[in-house]
Amino acid sequence: MSDVRPAELASRLDGGDEPYVLDIRPQSAYESGAIEGSHNVPVYDDLRAGDDSTLRARLDTLPRDEEIVVVCKMGVVARRATDLLVEEGYDASTLSGGMSGWRGYQNGSLLYKLRSLLWRL
């Protein structure tokens, strides 16, 4: 399993090398702000509680022929989803820092810059 940093994802989305971005946050969070072109499968609460059955039931809606980048609030629950997807044979990775990291990258925040520095170390 690998991670995709926000800057890398942005570059890929802008450059035409677009992965399938799977946002697992609740629908209300997705509707209040999401990565353009992402797809919402709201299984965050179930995965957070340790129940992967909702995501397993939705596997047939996900592409098997594309890389999937999983997004949640901070990236922790997305790792659980990514692990399950990899286990089931999908090419999947997690967006480092989740939507928090994405927003930090988009805004050029100091916290994101510090995180980026730590990722490089």
The domain covering 2-120 belongs, at the CATH homologous superfamily level, to: Rhodanese-like domain (3.40.250.10)
pLDDT of 110 over the 60 cut: no
Q: Average pLDDT for residues 15-26, to the nearest whole number? A: 94
Q: Domain locations in the chain?
A: 2-120
Q: Average pLDDT for residues 84-111, to the nearest whole number? A: 88
Per-residue pLDDT at 114 = 63
Gyration radius of the chain's alpha carbons? 14
Which is more confident, 42 or 97? 42
Which is more confident, 34 or 17? 34
Per-residue pLDDT at 106 = 81
| 104: phi then psi, degrees, rounded to nearest 5 | -60, -40
Looking at every residue in the chain, the average pLDDT score rounds to 90
Per-residue pLDDT at 44 = 98
- The Cα-based distances of 85 to 35, 67, 118 in angstroms read 20, 11, 27
pTM > 0.85: yes or no = yes
77's tokens:
């629950």
**CA 94, 34, 65: angle at the middle one, nearest 5?**
50
pLDDT of 17 over the 60 cut: yes
Q: Which residues pair with residue 70 across a beta bridge?
A: 22, 94
pLDDT of 107 over the 90 cut: no
